[in-house]
């Protein structure tokens, strides 16, 4: 699914109007109907008072139309229309004129000062002040209105975008003047700002409301921002040949562990084996040997010459994939071994955890990372690699620049993990939950990605499939166990269920996909 800019949303509206014979007022009616229906579904009580705060533009027109529709459904509605400059969007003006003819909606047109209503906790506020067109922080009276709304205990529902929040970059926004919504009802497509953690307090829960904007127009829109969808993953997932054996399913190498950090190596190894590869070799210090062989008997253990840490690189020419990082530690001997691996390896690698921290200390080694390798930093690790960022928007762009410049994949881990590709595309992953914010979760991802690469998935396929599966396994684990009790090994335990769910979904998709013969109706 594409993520559009604010300007592209306006272009898509215009394309729909010009090419599909629909007026802007009719399009506003569609959007308002979708919003009103969602509000009636979520908040069905007819006793709850509704207050609509509408701006002078298209978003305000949506709000006034919603006020009318909620009144039609028996709600007690008061609408405040802010017309301080004496000029309204034509469709907003048309909806105002309709409300003026009705007695079941109290309409207050604000031209100078507002006598702010006393809002109660049971009240519902519809925020329709500003939508996607905002390009600078709110100030003056509108900023004051947003602050007053945030001081209330009423439930706030924003139409399309919380007022004061900008579609993409909020690095220099005045966050004290942004509406804090309980829920945001987004028209047709999500907004980029929804996917950044610092904006969660403003967006609340967001719901996408399709309104039939032109599919042709949407297809023509160019973007480098995407949300991964389940259908995308179905097309990547492979089924095993009936004649598969361990020699054809890939041999992966994990370089992981140090004294006291055997657990990271164990988690990565178990995830790799659950990820489907045929054979796994683990290069680890002697100190980790006994616990690893007891915990992961399926793995082949190749011991380092040092008892406590990784100090040398093994010959990696016969492995189909290499993952390095979990529990490595940051000794200078381990750093030298990492560099040796980078120099001898020509195929893509998976680099995580301390491998990234060591690279951050020796940034010149980034040029030795093989093309199309997969780096999986969390935000602080990325800051060490690419420079500090003041906002998630800036961090995303730094990760994207790193991916383009070095020809690698960069996965910025978190809720809606970002997959930045060498071509400049950024994919936001929709699976995963807060329960996965636990030590070892990243080690599981490293093992899984290594397994997929070893089986012959292209790096672009492995990274999307691996990140999606990792989050899906976490979602299944959280549903069964609850987020608070989730630990990293639970994610591994639910990887089989995640694979099964994807396989079942892919089968259903294949069964319902029309053939050309069926499309012709023969």
Residue pLDDT, tens place only, 346-357: 899 999 999 999
d(CA 136, CA 173): 7
Indicate which CATH number applies to the domain containing 159: 3.40.50.10260
Report residue 447's pLDDT band, with 50, 70 and 90 as the boundaries: very high
Residue pLDDT, tens place only, 201-214: 999 999 999 999 99
Indicate which CATH number applies to the domain containing 324: 3.40.1190.20
pLDDT at position 508 = 57
Asked whether residue 343 falls in the same domain as residue 483, the answer is yes
Last residue of a domain, one of 188, 223, 258: 223
Identify whether 410 is part of a domain.
yes
Tokens representing 511 are: 């069964």
Asked whether residue 267 falls in the same domain as residue 191, the answer is no
Asked whether residue 368 falls in the same domain as residue 353, the answer is yes
Residue pLDDT, tens place only, 128-142: 999 998 889 999 999
pLDDT at position 505 = 78
Residue pLDDT, tens place only, 467-513: 999 999 999 999 999 999 999 999 999 999 999 999 987 655 454 44
Asked whether residue 176 falls in the same domain as residue 280, the answer is no
Cβ atoms 329, 353 nearer than 8 A: no
Give the per-residue SS3 of 18-38: HHCCCCHHHHHHHHHHHHHHH
d(CA 379, CA 90): 45
d(CA 37, CA 40): 5
Mean pLDDT (the chain) is 94
Q: How many domains does the structure of the chain reveal?
A: 2
pLDDT at position 507 = 58
pLDDT at position 113 = 84
Q: Would the pLDDT of 217 be above 90?
A: yes
d(CA 492, CA 461): 20
Residue pLDDT, tens place only, 357-383: 999 999 999 999 999 999 999 999 999
Asked whether residue 234 falls in the same domain as residue 201, the answer is no
Tokens representing 324 are: 């390095």
Per cent of the chain over pLDDT 90 is 91
Q: Which domain holds residue 216?
A: 6-223
Asked whether residue 80 falls in the same domain as residue 137, the answer is yes
Query: Cα–Cα distances in Å, from 435 out to 474, 476, 486, 490, 491?
Result: 8, 11, 6, 10, 10
Identify whether 368 is part of a domain.
yes
Asked whether residue 215 falls in the same domain as residue 326, the answer is no
Q: Would the pLDDT of 431 be above 90?
A: yes
Strands across the sheet containing 49-54: 105-110, 76-82, 49-54, 124-128, 155-159, 183-187, 205-209
pLDDT at position 515 = 34
Identify whether 516 is part of a domain.
no
Identify whether 390 is part of a domain.
yes
Residue pLDDT, tens place only, 263-321: 999 999 999 999 999 999 999 999 999 999 999 999 999 999 999 999 999 998 899 99
Asked whether residue 215 falls in the same domain as residue 319, the answer is no
Asked whether residue 303 falls in the same domain as residue 328, the answer is yes
Q: Is the dihedral of CA 94, 100, 101, 105 positive or negative?
A: positive
Asked whether residue 205 falls in the same domain as residue 263, the answer is no
d(CA 401, CA 490): 34
Identify whether 36 is part of a domain.
yes
Identify whether 380 is part of a domain.
yes
Q: What are phi and psi of 21, to 5 degrees?
A: 65, 35
Asked whether residue 485 falls in the same domain as residue 500, the answer is yes
The least confident of 47-56, 70-79, 232-241, 398-407 is 232-241
Asked whether residue 52 falls in the same domain as residue 79, the answer is yes
Q: State the residue for tokens 């976490």.
A: 474
């Amino acid at each position: 699914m594409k993520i559009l800019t604010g300007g592209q949303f306006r272009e898509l509206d215009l394309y729909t109007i010009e090419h599909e014979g629909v007026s802007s007022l009719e399009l506003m009616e569609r959007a308002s109907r979708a919003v009103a229906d969602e509000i009636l579904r979520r908040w069905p009580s007819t006793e709850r008072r509704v207050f609509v705060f509408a701006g002078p533009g298209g978003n305000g027109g949506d709000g006034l139309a919603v006020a009318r529709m909620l009144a039609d459904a028996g709600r007690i509605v008061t609408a405040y229309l802010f017309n301080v400059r004496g000029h309204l969007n034509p469709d907003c003006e048309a909806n105002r004129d309709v409300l003026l003819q009705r007695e079941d909606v109290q309409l207050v047109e604000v031209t100078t000062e507002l006598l702010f209503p006393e809002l109660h906790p049971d009240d519902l506020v519809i925020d329709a002040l500003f939508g996607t067109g905002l390009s600078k922080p709110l100030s003056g009276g509108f900023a004051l209105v947003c602050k007053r709304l945030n001081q209330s205990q009423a439930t706030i529902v924003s139409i399309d975008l919380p007022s004061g929040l900008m579609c993409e970059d909020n690095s220099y926004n005045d966050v004290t003047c942004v509406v804090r919504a309980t829920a945001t009802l987004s028209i047709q497509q999500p907004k980029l700002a929804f996917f950044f953690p610092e904006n969660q307090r403003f967006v609340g829960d967001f719901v996408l409301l399709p309104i039939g904007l032109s599919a042709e127009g949407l297809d023509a829109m160019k973007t480098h921002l995407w949300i991964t969808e389940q259908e995308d993953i179905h097309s990547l997932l492979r089924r095993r040949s009936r004649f598969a054996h361990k020699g054809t399913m890939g041999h992966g190498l994990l370089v992981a562990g140090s004294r006291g950090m055997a657990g990271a190596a164990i988690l990565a190894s178990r995830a790799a084996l659950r990820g489907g590869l045929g054979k796994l070799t683990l290069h680890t210090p002697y100190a980790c040997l006994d616990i690893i062989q007891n915990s992961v008997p399926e793995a082949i253990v190749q011991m380092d010459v040092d008892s406590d840490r990784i100090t040398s690189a093994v010959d990696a020419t016969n492995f189909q994939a290499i993952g390095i990082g979990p529990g490595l530690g940051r000794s200078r001997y381990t750093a030298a071994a990492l560099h040796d691996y980078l120099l001898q390896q020509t195929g893509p690698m998976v680099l995580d955890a301390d491998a990234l921290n060591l690279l951050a200390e020796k940034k010149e080694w980034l040029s030795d990372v093989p093309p199309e390798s997969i780096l999986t930093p969390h935000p602080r690790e990325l800051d060490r690699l690419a420079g500090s960022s003041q906002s998630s928007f800036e961090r995303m762009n730094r990760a994207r620049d790193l991916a383009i410049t070095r020809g690698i994949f960069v996965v910025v881990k978190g809720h809606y993990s970002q997959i930045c590709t060498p071509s400049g595309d950024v994919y936001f992953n929709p699976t995963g939950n807060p329960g996965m914010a636990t030590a070892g979760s990243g080690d599981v991802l490293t093992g899984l990605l290594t397994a997929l690469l070893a089986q012959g998935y292209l790096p672009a396929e492995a990274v999307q499939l691996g990140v999606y599966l990792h989050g899906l396994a976490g979602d299944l684990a959280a549903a069964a166990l609850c987020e608070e009790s989730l630990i990293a090994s639970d994610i591994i335990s639910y990887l089989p269920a995640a694979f099964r769910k994807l396989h079942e979904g892919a089968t259903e998709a294949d069964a319902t996909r029309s053939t050309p013969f069926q499309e012709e109706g023969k």
